[in-house]
Structure 1
């Protein structure tokens, strides 16, 4: 087993006034040659957007883009004609494929929105752009891993154009879960949304992350009530 620890305070930070964004990996003006990616996980941005503000129309291609609202709601528009609102409890994916234009704004005129923006390199390039979102309950995450994104088209979660899996858990203090990887070629990026836990013998606090690879499983113990995101991706 090999690990790489990314403390929250060592993330990149950018502020535009209306936007405050923490970058787990090199992004925009933040560059760290040691933090280019974790396997095929390219971006994990922790974004805060003021009320009524957001990202104007811009383009992407050949990237799987997952958005997870943590507080508030986002209004999404894209060049496929899709208009949607995603809120806390929802997970959204956009396969940029051969190219797509989209915008995202805070849906509220009075409250900020907090969300994670995550990019994964695609398995197949230049596919037809696609969009999907799905709601998940907090109860389904309690003391278990709830898979919200996977390469399996089973209707239980959101499909991604990559051999990647996103799982969420709300783990009570003292509880332990074991995450079993889907393949030896994969690694997992454990990101603490809130609370404290120990993963692979590493103590983790809110917004800390731990990459773990060359293993078949990872044990996570809640040191207090904790909310966790686990992203499993191929390492090459």
Structure 2
């Protein structure tokens, strides 16, 4: 088993007044040639957007974009005609494909929004752009892995154009489970949203990340109540 550990405080930091962001991998002003991606996983941005502010209309192409609100609301609009509000407990995915434009704004005048913005390289380029948003909180599973993303339209959660699986683990103190990758050659990047955990024998604090590959499985143990996002992606693509 191979691992790479990224402590929360080693992430890139951006302060734009209306936006505070932490970048696990190189993004924008944060340029670290040793932290470009983890396999097909290109971006994990931990964004904090001030009330009434947000990301104005801008383009994307040939990337899978996943947004997971952690608190507050985001107002989404795109060139495909979608206009939606995504909230804590939702997950949103956009396949940029041949090209889209979109905006993500905080519609609340007195409340900040926090969300994870995640990019995954697709297995194929020039696909038709698409948008999907579902509620995942209503069917959350306590003390187990809950799949929230896969490569298949008829599977649990949203889907993307990549052989990737995302799972949320909301564990009570002392709970331990084994995660086994669903496809040979995939690695798993674990990101601790809340609390502390021991993953693959390595202790992680809140907002720490750990990449694991070349393994048939690894343990996830809660050191207190915790919430962890597991992102399984191809290491070669």
Q: TM-score, normalised by structure 1?
A: 0.98
Instruction: Specify the alignment match of 1:100 in structure 2.
Output: 100
Instruction: Specify the alignment match of 1:79 in structure 2.
Output: 79
Instruction: Specify the alignment match of 2:188 in structure 1.
Output: 188
Stretches (4+) displaced over 6 A? none
Does the C-alpha gap of structure 1 residues 5 and 138 become closer, same or farther in structure 2, counting only changes over 3 Å?
A: farther
Does the C-alpha gap of structure 1 residues 213 and 155 become closer, same or farther in structure 2, counting only changes over 3 Å?
A: closer
SS of the equivalent of 1:107 reads coil
Deviations 1:30-73 (A, max 9, x none): 01111000000000000000000000000000000000000001
Instruction: Specify the alignment match of 1:60 in structure 2.
Output: 60
Partner Cα separation in structure 2 for residue 119 and residue 44 of structure 1: 7
Indicate whether 1:47 and 2:51 are aligned: no
* Equivalent residues in 2 for 1:153-172, closer than 5 Å: 153-172=153-172
Partner Cα separation in structure 2 for residue 138 and residue 190 of structure 1: 23
Partner Cα separation in structure 2 for residue 181 and residue 155 of structure 1: 16
Instruction: Specify the alignment match of 2:109 in structure 1.
Output: 109
Deviations 1:110-142 (A, max 9, x none): 100000000000011111100001001266231
Q: How many residues matched?
A: 236
SS of the equivalent of 2:9 reads helix
Indicate whether 1:119 and 2:119 are aligned: yes
Partner Cα separation in structure 2 for residue 209 and residue 147 of structure 1: 19
Q: Contact 2:70–2:115 (CA<8 Å) still a contact in 1?
A: yes
1:156 deviates by 2.5
Q: TM-score, normalised by structure 2?
A: 0.98
Q: Contact 1:184–1:215 (CA<8 Å) still a contact in 2?
A: no
Partner Cα separation in structure 1 for residue 213 and residue 5 of structure 2: 12
Deviations 1:2-34 (A, max 9, x none): 000000000000010000000000000101111
CA RMSD of aligned residues (A): 0.9
1:234 deviates by 0.1
